[in-house]
Amino acid sequence: MTDRAVTRRRRASVRTLLVIFGGVTVLLLGGLWVGRGVDRASAVSDAPKTEKAQKERADRSAAVEVGGTGELPGVRDCGYGEPLREPKIITLTCATGATVASDIEWDEYSTDRAEGYGVVQVSSGANGSARTSFPARLTLSAPRTVDGMTAFTSLEVAYTGLTPAGKTTETYSIA
């Protein structure tokens, strides 16, 4: 009788191990599959959708290559490094890094101003764990030569919905 009880326990523990192993395998494979799907989705959303969009993208890249006096200004992240043209992310509060404009799509990008839309993310709580997002219209202006490079020095954020601290518009110095 004792031998039968031991055999049943071993079968139960082997079954339990197989079920755990199968569950972990399914979770890992599912994560890989979802991750690849997200990569494909972002590649599709980044691609121009129409002939007009493709032409505008080509015109922009040609304008960037021209250089000289008509050079398009960029944005220096917290005043450091080389200016980036049409950045997707801009840090707004450099001291803490708690406020960031992200997912920026530029409608217009010229030598004197740039306009687009994005999401302003505000982190709060311990270690920035609580993150709140606010849709906004972004306007870069006041291009200046900074350290020998042309860069925008001002960013106006006009919130399109709910706003942090009840302000509908904020202006940041981004030199």
pLDDT digits (tens, 9 = 90+) for 13-42: 778 888 888 888 877 777 655 555 544 444
**What pLDDT was estimated at residue 77?**
86
- Asked if 134 contacts 118 with a C-beta cutoff of 8 angstroms, the reply is no
pLDDT at 51: 53
pLDDT of 62 above 50: no
Mean residue pLDDT across the chain: 76
Rounded CA-CA distance 116/167 in Å is 19
Whole-structure pTM value: 0.58
Q: Report the pLDDT averaged over residues 37-53.
A: 47
Residue 148 is predicted with a pLDDT of 86
Over residues 88-119, the pLDDT tens digits come to 999 988 888 888 999 999 999 999 999 999 99
Residue 158's DSSP bridge partners are 137, 169
* Cα–Cα separations (whole angstroms), residue 154 to 25, 125, 140: 50, 28, 6
Mean pLDDT of 145-170: 86
SS3 letters across the chain: CHHHHHHHHHHHHHHHHHHHHHHHHHHHHHHHHHHHHHHHHHHHHHCCCCHHHHHHHHHHHHHHHHCHHHCCCEEEECCEEEEECCCCCEECCCCCCCEEEEEEEEEEECCCCEEEEEEEEEEECHHHCEEEEEEEEEEEEEEEEECCEEEEEEEEEEECCCCHHHCCEEEEECC
